[in-house]
Amino acid sequence: MEWVGALRYSLALLALLPIVNAAFYRIRPQSTGVLVNQTVTLYCAFNGLTPSEVVNWYWYNPETDDKLYHISARGRVASEFSRHSIVGSSRRGEYNLRIRDVQPGDEGNYRCSVFTVRDAGDARLTVVGIRVA
């Protein structure tokens, strides 16, 4: 009877292997503030990415509209985001989002995610500027 238990245990371990090998966040983007016209970098990195796993950046501003914009896939940035770029070593799983010449309209929530990795965290970007009344 005992070997049945041992067999069950081994099978359970085998079933867990894909979970153990799955990619996970090494660095999650952190909420930050930036002065208008400055450059800001939101950091994001994963461990254990496989070649088929794509890191995406999204942006949405709940205060203006609820549209979720797709900024980038891997290192490729959508043309409408001309001030945005992906920096870092993709070999090391780094997909940092750099925004230069930050404008008030860049404010909102930024999400760095991989489809297969759960619990994507949102980082809030606050743009600080001199507001003309």
Which residues of this protein are in contact with ligand NAG, per CB under 6 A?
A: 36-37, 129-130
- Nearest-approach distance from CB 105 to ligand NAG, in angstroms: 13
By beta carbon distance, the residue nearest ligand NAG is 37
Identify which of residues 55 and 125 has a Cβ nearer to ligand NAG in the complex: 125
Task: Please identify, using beta-carbon distances, which residue of 30 and 37 lies nearer to ligand NAG.
Answer: 37
Nearest-approach distance from CB 21 to ligand NAG, in angstroms: 47
Beta strands, E only, the chain: 24-27, 32-35, 40-42, 45-47, 55-61, 65-73, 76-77, 84-87, 96-99, 108-114, 122-128
Separation of first and last alpha carbons in the chain? 80
Q: Which two tokens stand for residue 88?
A: 């870092």
Nearer to ligand NAG, 102 or 112 (CB): 102
